[in-house]
Structure 1
Amino acid sequence: MADINIVQAHHLAPEQARAAAQQVADKLAEQFELECAWDGDVLRFERSGVSGSLSLLPDQAKLHIALGFLFSAFSSQIEAKVADKMRRVFSAA
């Protein structure tokens, strides 16, 4: 298994941060067929072989992804793409 942890600083209002987080989740859901659900300020997602959460704090977003054996071989590519998406959506405002 491989874990991906990304912390992205932001200066967004709570509703803007939530919209940005949803964009990241929508992209992940599309690529990996994930089920996503909000639990307060934490967006949880999962499917067989992939699980994780995106936590919103006042000045940062923390993403944790746990990859199962089959996906772990692609962890560096997944991390690069997700980090780029987070950088773009959380700095958009």
Structure 2
Amino acid sequence: MALRMGKHTGSFAPGGPGERTPSAAVARAFQALPPADREILTETVFRERSVNEAAALLGVPVDVVKVRVYRALRALHATLGPPVTR
């Protein structure tokens, strides 16, 4: 699986097309993450920085950014559970 942060590659929300998780639930799940996970997702997802940019900004190796993003997204998916179908 290629990790392309900083580019619009679709939704990070779990589920397939036509399935959505209410934004309030996503916000609560995000706030429940540890500060380091919130920081890495803020830089890579919300601010759309590449992993290289985030690594330079945070002063950590690129591989650390990749691992943190992976773990943070998995934690979000685990917290959110299955999406709501419409």
| TM-score, normalised by the number of residues in structure 2 | 0.45
- Which structure has more relative contact order (CA 8 Å, sep 6+)? It is 2
Q: Which has the larger radius of gyration?
A: 2
